[in-house]
Amino acid sequence: MDNGELRVGLVGYAFMGTAHSQAWRTVNRVFDLPVRARMVAICGRDEAKVAEAAGRLGWAEHLTDWRALVAREDIDVVDVCTPGDSHAEIAMAALTAGKHVLCEKPLANTVEEARAMTDAAAAARLAGVRSVCGFNYRRVPAVAFMRQLVEEGRLGTIRHVRAAYLQDWIVDPQFPLVWRLRREVAGSGALGDIGAHIIDLTQYVTGQRITGVSALTETFVKERPLPAASSGLSAVADTEYGPVTVDDAALFVARLDGGAVATYEATRFATGRKNALRVEINGSHGSVAFDLERLNELEFYDATLPETERGFRRILVTEPDHPYMSAWWPPGHILGYEHTFTHELRDFLTAIAAGEDPTPSFTDALQVQLVLDAVERSARLDSSWIKVEP
């Protein structure tokens, strides 16, 4: 930190790079923080595209070599928004160079990589270097309030957790073989991409860890057209095909260490569902449910009320006393998906300035990676019960 300023370098300029850039532009304009973020440089492999992205997204400079970015003395924070196959190398190099690191989820493509990253983060922490994994849905105000209700005991003993994350963007069998459908780049399919979110979110809300799973996975479309080199999306004219090497859908049941039982579903083949994430928690004293398509609301059932007054009621999570909301608009003026990243940076910057460890840590993200690994092993073993490694 130089004069209360943290100088930021971002690696990646596509979907997540764009979302993170919007947050870096916004965070100090919305929240009164003890440190300011300065957007120094963005990095990507394509010179023309990263130059265009720098101007559009608000970065002062652009580079094509992430190693050069990490080596710069005028960079204090490295934000990793690349595909999973490069997370470990970039994040560990940045930590070794003394840079604070924000790494997108899932932390890595394998448990081995995630362990190495966690070890690197622990070593860097001794020198005051902080790291965090970007599970942004923790920062939805309604989700943070959901956790608060559980912590306050409003639900009593947690008995059931059910979570689903449904998308449909690859239902068309002619959709091309993009990087998210290749194991060597993405690590896994729907399981790691969106399943990781509901694993982290439910553990965050309940305060309980998944200890064992029984799972199945499926790849519905085994081969897809190779993408054109120019666009990365449209198929080539002569329609060459390549194998899909990740799951299209993953389903599993689980036990949590607090005694709750759980069900999880992650799929990219739920026709008509664009980005539908729903979590419901049932306890001895009540229930609460969150739906991302209504992300400013919670459904809450209070079983301690007289029977004549019971029923699920809608809580509009927009009051100043709700998490994060005091910085935004008057009550009833709703927030959106992009605000979760702004809140993520608010917490990250606040922790760095205070000399504290931000959450979720790389250790937290490693635990999610261990669950992903257990799910895949169970699916390979005909849904055998697999204990999640501590």
The tens digit of pLDDT for each residue in 83-116 reads: 999 999 999 999 999 999 999 999 999 999 999 9
pLDDT at 22 over 70: yes
Per-chain mean pLDDT for the chain:
96
Beta bridge partners of 308: none
In the chain, domain spans: 5-137, 140-359+367-380
- As a whole number of Å, the CA-based R_g of the chain is 21
pLDDT at 337 over 50: yes
% of the chain surpassing 90 pLDDT: 96
pLDDT at 234 over 80: no
Q: In what order do the strands lie in the sheet with 131-134?
A: 61-63, 36-43, 5-11, 77-80, 100-104, 131-134
Beta bridge partners of 251: 216, 265
Helix (H) or strand (E) holding 9: strand 5-11
pLDDT at 248 over 90: yes
pLDDT at 231 over 60: no
User: Looking at residue 2, what is its pLDDT?
Assistant: 62
pLDDT band at 228, cuts 50/70/90? confident
What is the distance between the alpha carbons of residues 293 and 337, in angstroms, rounded to a whole number?
Answer: 10
Cβ distance 358 to 132 under 8 Å? yes
Q: Which residues contact 380 (CB under 8 A, 6 or more apart)?
A: none
pLDDT at 230 over 50: no
Average pLDDT over residues 256-280: 98
User: Looking at residue 360, what is its pLDDT?
Assistant: 98
Q: Is 105 helix (H, G, I), strand (E, B) or coil?
A: coil
CATH 3.10.310.30 fits 5-137, yes or no: no
Q: Is 193 helix (H, G, I), strand (E, B) or coil?
A: helix
pLDDT digits (tens, 9 = 90+) for 24-34: 999 999 999 99
Q: Is 183 helix (H, G, I), strand (E, B) or coil?
A: helix
Q: Where are the alpha helices (DSSP H) in the chain?
A: 15-30, 47-57, 66-71, 87-96, 111-125, 141-151, 183-186, 190, 196-206, 339-354, 362-380
Cβ distance 21 to 44 under 8 Å? no
What is the distance between the alpha carbons of residues 184 and 32, in angstroms, rounded to a whole number?
Answer: 42
- This prediction's pTM: 0.96
Q: Which of 202, 133, 117, 178 is nearest to 358 (CA)?
A: 133
Same fold, 5-137 and 140-359+367-380: no
Beta strands in 167-230 (DSSP E): 210-218, 223-225
User: Looking at residue 187, what is its pLDDT?
Assistant: 97
Q: Which of 368, 330, 328, 313 is nearest to 139 (CA)?
A: 328
Average pLDDT over residues 318-346: 98
pLDDT digits (tens, 9 = 90+) for 150-204: 999 999 999 999 999 999 999 999 999 999 999 999 999 999 999 999 999 999 9
Give the class (CATH, top level) of 140-359+367-380.
alpha beta
Tokens linked to 239? 């329609």
User: Looking at residue 236, what is its pLDDT?
Assistant: 47
User: Looking at residue 3, what is its pLDDT?
Assistant: 83
